Chains A and B, each alone.
Chain A
Amino acid sequence: MSDLNTMTIAQARDALRAGETTSAELTDACLNAIEAAGELGAFVHNTPDVARAQAASADARIAQGDAPSLCGIPLGIKDLFCTKGVPSQAASRILEGFKPEYESTVSGQLFDRGAVMLGKLNMDEFAMGSSNETSVYGNAVNPWRAGNSDAALTPGGSSGGSASAVAADLCLGATGTDTGGSIRQPAAFTGIVGIKPTYGRCSRWGVVAFASSLDQAGPMTKTVRDAAIMLEGMCGHDAKDSTSADLAVPDFEAALTGDIRGKVIGIPKEYRMDGMPAEIAKLWEDGTAMLRDAGAEIRDISLPHTKYALPAYYVIAPAEASSNLARYDGVRFGHRASLAQGDGITEMYEKTRAEGFGAEVQRRVMVGTYVLSAGFYDAYYNRARRVRALIKQDFDTVFAAGVDAILTPATPSAAFELGRKVDDPVEMYLNDVFTVTVNLAGLPGISVPTGLDEKGLPLGLQLIGRPWEEADLLNTAYALETAAGFVAKPQKWW
């Protein structure tokens, strides 16, 4: 059978259970596709031996009739997840050579359910970036190109490798993480589905920490159904993460009826930004019409503090990062700078961190250090946390008024060119303008591919749901996906 790697998770699961293919065949198809896709820079540590061994045990399980949905499904794992014995360096030089002695809860759960790891995926260093250009491995590249141009485009970030790999059919699905939009923005840039669940749904244990009050893992897949299947495998209570929610995980796939009659969809006026490109505005209107046609009630809503989400994020996230990244000191793991005669421990810290962290990570650690420093803590950090409370209150208010989900654009533009000169770091931060509110409020959000721009690049819409109601959110996303009928794939050039 050819092109097994182009299957969805649901198709592969059904084919595996029916005995029409094996995990070994699926895995080999993906490994071959990865081998031929070096130019995409998506996979950065290949683990073919691990994959083949996992595929063999998955096939044995399937033969015995013990086949959870993910059994035998080849996946890519973002480099932010610690995977036992396999390089896990958060795309940073400072973790060069680091091979964890333990497995992250999320990847461990996936493997317990029989999933196969093809390798580790590229990302922005420590998940700080929106274009995958801050990676120590070099850029991940979007499989999509604009019209007849051969300019390399960003797959978005920080989960750029995950997005590129799924869009190019190198794997059936991939793990991502999302602190300010790092699952949803790259999903939108590559025409795939990405969901960030409610804060606390997925254990953060063993996931390299960026901003602990915002970080959440989630799946990046080809369809909403696949997102439902994979999310279920990733979620669940974990005593090792004190913020992990002790709640039952619903059968997300069973919720996909496509029936959204009577659901109330909110359209927030504050997301209609000045200078919004006409095609993004049209995409949003089209998506609204699709949900209305599917029987949902469309309601104009207001989330008055939206404008302050990005500035609040750029206090809170760097503050938490400066604290989390203090552990990279050249003592316990990763890189240590070579020292000059007479250098003491302070020089070791300073040189190690200067050599090990890239420019963007250094910038954020220092901004975080500044906003937490004596005399500024109240003015910056506490003020940002107060604004964050107001942003959450905005959402609480509309949900209390009966809104079931909120529809917004996922990104302010389609994928842009790699290497575009950015002098002002704030300009890159604006990529997260539609997604970052969701992290600050701890809500579930999903990006669904819904159209192409005039150059033929994919665009996505975001649906935001009530806390813990991923099942309902996925069903609304399923209805949107069905109505949009997005089937375009990138033309293979790699």
Chain B
Amino acid sequence: MSIDIETARKVAKLARIAVPEERLPALAGEFNAILGFIEQLNEVDVEGVEPMVSVTPMRLPRRVDVVTDGSQQEAVLANAPDAREGFFAVPKVVE
């Protein structure tokens, strides 16, 4: 599997990272080096092996579905690049 410039562009878009056009060929090259390395996994016989979900065999703990925290609007917004009137502010999303 070889990654071309078009695929590199698509992956950058999916990852929401702006990659300048002139950087795409080098990026595709780096992806190919990494994926080439990963290809070794195809040598392994994984027939009948379940994909690992949790490294320690433990059941995910459950808790009562109640509010445990809250009323911290100020703390939640304290690090926002743009917070106004108690909300996160972003560029217009809907026309």
Contacts and interface: CB of A to CB of B under 8 A. Distances in A.
A382 interface: yes
B73 to A, nearest CB: 11
Nearest to B12: A366
B14 interface: yes
Interface stretch (A182-190, A310-318, A457-465, A479-487): A310-318
B85 to A, nearest CB: 15
Contacts of A213: 54-55
Nearest to B81: A336
A334 B14 CA distance: 21
Contacts of A308: 40-41, 43-44
Given A245-B58, A305-B44, A386 B49 contact: yes
A78 to B, nearest CB: 20
A331 B11 contact: no
A350 B82 contact: no
Interface of B: 3, 7-8, 11-12, 14-19, 27, 30-31, 33-35, 37-44, 46, 49-56, 58, 60-61, 63, 72, 75-76, 78-82, 88, 90-93
Contact of B52 (A101, A310, A347, A385): A385
Report whether over half of chain B's contact residues are helix, strand or loop; otherwise say mixed: loop
Contacts of A311: 37-41
Interface in A328-364: 329-336, 339, 343-351, 353-354, 357, 362-363
Interface centre among B3, B38, B58, B91 (most CB of A within 10 A): B38
A370 interface: yes
Contact of A366 (B11, B40, B50): B11
B30 A363 contact: yes
Interface of A: 97-102, 198-200, 213, 239, 242-243, 245-246, 305, 307-308, 310-312, 314-315, 322, 329-336, 339, 343-351, 353-354, 357, 362-363, 365-367, 369-371, 373, 380, 382-390, 392, 424-426, 429, 440-442, 467
Contacts of B8: 366
Contact of A369 (B14, B34, B51, B79): B14
A370 B81 contact: no
A312 B52 CA distance: 12
A369 B90 contact: no
A366 B7 CA distance: 11
What 6 A-B pairs have minimum CB-CB distances, sorted nearest first?
A442-B55, A385-B51, A336-B81, A333-B79, A386-B46, A350-B18
Nearest to B39: A311
A467 B56 CA distance: 9
Contact of A387 (B17, B34, B41): B41
A383 B41 CA distance: 7
Given A199-B56, A380-B38, A390-B46, A366 B31 contact: yes
A367 B13 CA distance: 12
A307 B17 contact: no
Contacts of B58: 200, 243, 245
B16 A346 contact: yes
Contact of A330 (B51, B55, B81): B81
B77 to A, nearest CB: 8
Contacts of B79: 97-101, 332-334
Given A101-B78, A344-B91, A353 B51 contact: no
A148 B23 CA distance: 40
B41 A366 contact: no
8 contacts: A100-B79, A101-B78, A308-B40, A349-B16, A353-B17, A367-B34, A386-B44, A389-B52
Contacts of A344: 91-93
A350 B55 contact: no
A302 to B, nearest CB: 15
A98 B80 CA distance: 9
B81 A335 contact: yes
A198 B55 CA distance: 10
A363 to B, nearest CB: 6
Contacts of B31: 366-367, 370
A51 to B, nearest CB: 24
Contacts of A200: 56, 58
B45 to A, nearest CB: 9
Nearest to B36: A426
Contacts of A312: 41
Given A373-B11, A425-B33, A366 B17 contact: yes
Given A242-B60, A339-B91, A348-B90, A331 B34 contact: no
A89 to B, nearest CB: 11
A425 B34 contact: yes
B41 A369 contact: no
B41 A370 contact: no
A387 B72 CA distance: 43
Contacts of A336: 81-82
Given A308-B40, A331-B88, 16 more contacts: A199-B56, A213-B55, A243-B56, A311-B41, A332-B80, A332-B88, A346-B16, A354-B18, A366-B11, A367-B35, A369-B14, A370-B11, A373-B11, A373-B14, A382-B51, A426-B34
